[in-house]
Amino acid sequence: MFLCVHNSADYIIYGALTVFSAGGSNILNLINCRKFLAHKTYFGRYNFRQHLKAIFVFFALSVAVSIYTSMDTVMLGFMSSDKEVAYYALATKVKMVLATTVSALGPVLLPRMTYCLNNDQYEKFKSYIEKSLHFVILSAVPVVVFFTVMTPEVIEILGGAEYRPAILCMQIITLAVIPLGIGNVACAQILTPLGKEKLTMYSTVCGAVINFIANAIFIPKMGAVGAALATVLAESVVAIIQIYYAWNEMKEAFAKIEYFKLILTNVVTGAFLIIVRNKLLGIQPIIVLMISCCAFFFVYGVMLLILKDSLVEKYVIPVMKRLKR
């Protein structure tokens, strides 16, 4: 993208790269799966019907998610101007990148958690939930703090001066990363392994309804900012419903989160980030962003070490000792 896409005339290259990256990944998966599946042994004898119910549930969920995530942009286009759509689209892309990064652990842990349930390893299943929730909160909150403070520089780099009105929109929609991350733990790592895909679909449908109503109320008055508010509200509702459905499995994990350390760490590093950013004002936005990023996450890591966060003590400190040796 950075090498080949430079202006609006490169939209065909942009489209081709997008299709190549998504399609190429799936083609490689199909090629590689032959190492693990003996396709010939299934021909004519495989009971495909047993999976139809689950497949249709996941299909309905995918449709609901697609409608739900596209609805705000469509409604914004009808109720507001093209400029507001452009502001919102830029903010949404940044939000999706952050949410995908924070939720990356979900697909990785899903097979392992399903294995634990199928082999009556419930205690290990709960320990994975605790670690996953801890990791999501530990990563989502500082990401939100950082991008809320550094939104002007991010907008300047990605969109230029014409996109400055999108600053507030991006600051608001970035907040959705936290409920998205926590909801992903409940959905992908608990409800799906437990075979409760229908409950995930119900929560998504509720989110779509809330999103539609909130968009209808907020967009005519506030444009892209209103759509961002509606998204945060809808994502929060979805996460709350999913947590409710998965509460029996999540309550111990929530109880073990060290909230005081989390709040203190983010307040201190957030204040430090504001000071660093203000000292660097006037130079190139990309340089400001890079220096601020390194300084913020370094101090964040140091704070976690000083406060002896349990996840850091268990996984990071042993690695540091090995590197030192």
CA pair distance 54, 195, nearest whole angstrom: 9
127 within domain boundaries: yes
Report the pLDDT averaged over residues 67-83.
83
Same domain (yes/no): 184, 309? no
50 within domain boundaries: no
More confident residue, 275 or 106: 275
146 within domain boundaries: yes
pLDDT value of residue 229: 93
Same domain (yes/no): 36, 76? no
Q: How many CB atoms lie within 10 A of CB 35?
A: 6
Same domain (yes/no): 253, 313? no
Banded model confidence at residue 310, pLDDT cuts 50, 70, 90:
confident
Q: Which domain holds residue 300?
A: 258-325
Axis crossing angle, helix 285-306 with helix 122-149, rounded to the nearest 10:
140
Last residue of some domain: 257, 287, 311?
257
Split into its structural domains, the chain has a count of 3
- Quick one: CA dihedral 243, 249, 255, 261, positive or negative? negative
- Quick one: CA dihedral 129, 133, 138, 143, positive or negative? positive
Taking the C-alpha atoms of 84, 87, 89 and 92 in order, what is their torsion angle to the nearest 10 degrees? -120
319 within domain boundaries: yes
pLDDT value of residue 281: 82
Same domain (yes/no): 161, 66? yes
Same domain (yes/no): 307, 240? no
Nearest to 152 by CA among 144, 143, 161, 140: 161
Same domain (yes/no): 168, 220? yes
CA pair distance 290, 212, nearest whole angstrom: 37
Same domain (yes/no): 204, 252? yes
Banded model confidence at residue 237, pLDDT cuts 50, 70, 90:
very high
Same domain (yes/no): 31, 168? no
User: Are the C-beta atoms of 210 and 237 separated by less than 8 Å?
Assistant: yes
Query: DSSP for 219-251?
Result: HHHHTHHHHHHHHHHHHHHHHHHHHHHTHHHHH
Length of the chain: 325
Q: Which pLDDT tens digit goes with each residue over 240-298?
A: 999 999 898 888 888 888 888 889 999 999 999 999 999 888 888 889 899 999 999 99
Burial 222-245 (b: 16+ CB within 10 A, else e): bbbbbbbbbbbbbbbbbbbbbbeb
Which of 61-75, 119-133, 183-197, 307-321 shows the lowest per-residue confidence on average (mean pLDDT)?
A: 307-321
51 within domain boundaries: no
Residue at token pair 């109880």: 255
- 0.85 exceeded by the pTM? no
Same domain (yes/no): 85, 171? yes
Rg of the Cα atoms in the chain: 22
> Mean pLDDT, the chain, as a whole number?
85
The answer on pLDDT for 325 being more than 80 is no
Q: Which pLDDT tens digit goes with each residue over 109-164?
A: 777 777 777 777 878 888 888 888 888 888 899 999 999 999 999 998 888 888 88
Which of 48-62, 69-83, 176-190, 258-272 shows the lowest per-residue confidence on average (mean pLDDT)?
A: 48-62
Q: Which pLDDT tens digit goes with each residue over 32-45?
A: 887 777 656 556 66
Report the pLDDT averaged over residues 163-171.
90
Same domain (yes/no): 40, 152? no
Same domain (yes/no): 111, 187? yes
Same domain (yes/no): 24, 134? no
CA pair distance 216, 195, nearest whole angstrom: 35
Last residue of some domain: 229, 257, 285?
257
Q: How many CB atoms lie within 10 A of CB 155?
A: 25
CA pair distance 289, 292, nearest whole angstrom: 5
